[in-house]
């Protein structure tokens, strides 16, 4: 009030939050998360389209078959260093498959343009219907818009906890073709349960069971990601065939 600057006497994180203009900050943070995700999958897909897909007409659509050996000649250079083999090659292998790239890419674009949830999400009145759609940047119903900037923060958190995390699980699970370890299955089960509760509960609170069924983000994305993960897990169980002593090669 007196025009003097006082020391807030709180940590830097608290000062940053108090001084931040969230209607400007949240869209920027969401944009950074969104663009980083797009960069990862698009650059991986670009390499696959340029160097791998033209040489193979027998690639599976879904990850029901391990393709690391099939495309080894086109990805041989990525086996030379630990970083390329561990952190770059798995993304190229995953997004070479159309069944991983196209559905996820379409759902991510859909999230920016179309409603993430549709249902009975408002109070009805004489001039306003309960049926409306929730977009990234607000609500739309009965021909009226309501802008809500905090949606960017909610979308960003859900984006990281569901789509971003599941994409990483798909990529690194698809890259490996040995048997599934029990600890891995337990961890995946816990993540699956947590995301199921998160996706359904946050959506149900907005508009009930109808909104859950008509929720591309995050419910549909969650369902498709785990459809791919379960397919990869089954594939790894099926492809692992332990060698019995009777079938082991005789050493001379």
**Digit-coded pLDDT (tens) for 175-208:** 988 888 999 999 999 999 999 999 999 899 888 8
What's the CA gap between 211 and 121, in Å, rounded? 8
Tracing tokens 């969650």 back to the chain, one arrives at 222
Tokens standing for 175?
């890259």
Range with lowest mean pLDDT among 31-40, 85-94, 239-248:
239-248
Q: Which residues contact 119 (CB under 8 A, 6 or more apart)?
A: 131, 132, 206, 207, 208, 210, 211, 214, 215
Predicted pLDDT of residue 145: 78
Task: Give the number of domains in the chain.
Answer: 1
List pLDDT tens digits, range 59-78: 999 999 999 999 999 999 99
What's the CA gap between 238 and 178, in Å, rounded? 10
> Is residue 55 assigned to a domain?
yes
> Is residue 12 assigned to a domain?
no
> Is residue 37 assigned to a domain?
yes
Predicted pLDDT of residue 19: 65
What's the CA gap between 26 and 154, in Å, rounded? 9
Tracing tokens 């900050």 back to the chain, one arrives at 25
> Is residue 26 assigned to a domain?
yes
Tokens standing for 90?
């798995």
How many residues appear in the chain? 252
The whole-model pTM stands at: 0.86
> Is residue 246 assigned to a domain?
no
Q: What average pLDDT does the chain have?
A: 87
Q: What is the residue range of 118's domain?
A: 18-239
Work out whether strand 131-135 and strand 138-141 pair parallel, antiparallel, or are unpaired. Answer: antiparallel
> Is residue 152 assigned to a domain?
yes
């Amino acid at each position: 009030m007196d025009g003097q600057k006082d020391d807030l006497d709180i940590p830097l994180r608290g000062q940053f939050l108090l001084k931040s203009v969230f209607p400007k900050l949240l869209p920027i943070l969401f944009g950074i998360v969104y663009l980083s995700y797009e960069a990862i999958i698009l650059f991986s897909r670009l390499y696959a389209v340029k160097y791998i897909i033209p040489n193979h007409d027998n690639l599976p659509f879904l990850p029901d078959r391990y393709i690391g050996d099939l495309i080894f000649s086109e990805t041989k250079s990525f086996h030379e260093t630990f970083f390329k083999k561990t952190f770059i090659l798995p993304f190229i292998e995953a997004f070479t498959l159309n069944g991983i790239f196209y559905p996820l890419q379409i759902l991510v674009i859909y999230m920016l343009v179309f409603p993430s949830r549709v249902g009975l999400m408002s109070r009805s009145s004489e001039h306003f219907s309960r049926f409306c759609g929730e977009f990234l940047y607000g609500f739309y119903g009965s021909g009226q818009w309501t802008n809500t900037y905090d949606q960017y923060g909610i979308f960003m958190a859900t984006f990281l906890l569901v789509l971003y995390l599941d994409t990483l699980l798909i990529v690194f699970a698809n890259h490996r073709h040995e048997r599934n370890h029990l600890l891995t299955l337990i961890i995946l089960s816990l993540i699956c349960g947590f995301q199921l509760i998160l996706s359904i509960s946050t959506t149900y609170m907005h508009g009930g069971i109808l909104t859950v069924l008509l929720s591309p983000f995050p419910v549909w994305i969650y369902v498709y990601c785990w459809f791919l993960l379960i397919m990869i897990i089954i594939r790894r169980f099926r492809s692992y065939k332990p060698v019995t002593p009777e079938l082991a090669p005789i050493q001379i």
